[in-house]
Amino acid sequence: MNTTSRANFLPEQRFLPLRPALQEHLTKVGQAISPENFLSICDEMLLKVLRDTFERISADEGSIWLLDQEKKRLVATYNSGPNSEKILGFKNPLNEGIISLVVASENAFIENQVYKNKSHSTALNKKLGKTTYAMIAVPLYFLNQVRGVISCVQLFDVLVEEGQAAPVGRTPAGFSPRDLNAVQTTAAVVRDLIDYRLLGTAVGWNRH
């Protein structure tokens, strides 16, 4: 058997006239998705993929940040770590912090010693009483638009003396390009799972 052969499926001509109506419907669905109802379109398999990825790369916290409907803030909509109660619902202004830069540029971000980066917002760190050592943030797409960010961090404690921050206790190992690739792959899986579920709902495919 030729393992390089591909199944060449072509669009079904009978369905092509329905494409504009389907696109219009999915656009309306996308506009209706908000941080408040986002988890209702995420099944347990999707969340397990996220949790497994964050655990595999040794992230202390992993989050989904979703744009609010006014597109003025990123809202922490999902979190995998021990500080979920403090993180969920946190609103990050769209003109502050690295995750906002990821949305604006639609480029992935990875950095160790990110606490030294002037673009890094410390607002959430202050709420947690922790400092971010390493961060990965990648754009989250579904329904053909960037809708938010998937981020994960490694946290540690620092002591500030005379304006200089010094680590206290164990310093995290940091993230690698391989870890970034893992999160980007997961973001693509999340996108496809959401798109498939919404498309399936639109055409009545989803199982109940």
CATH code (residue 151): 3.30.450.40
The pLDDT tens digits of the residues spanning 107-162 come to 999 999 999 899 999 999 999 989 999 999 999 999 999 999 999 999 998 766 65
The verdict on residue 17 lying in a domain is: no
* Assigned domain for 77 exists: yes
Name the percent of the chain lying above pLDDT 90: 80
In a domain, 13, yes or no: no
Note whether residue 83 is domain-resident.
Answer: yes
Q: What is the pTM of this model?
A: 0.90
In a domain, 76, yes or no: yes
Instruction: Answer yes or no: is 44 within a domain.
Output: yes
Q: Which domain holds residue 138?
A: 30-201
User: Which residue positions in the chain have pLDDT lower than 70?
Assistant: 1-4, 159-168, 207-208
Contact (Cβ atoms closer than 8 angstroms) between residue 191 and residue 140: yes
HSE-CB at 166 with a 13 A cutoff on CA atoms is 6
Whether 88 maps to a domain, the answer reads yes
Q: Report yes or no on 15 lying in a domain.
A: no
Exposed/middle/buried for residue 207 (C-beta within 10 Å: 0-12, 13-18, 19+): exposed
- Domains identified in the chain, total number: 1
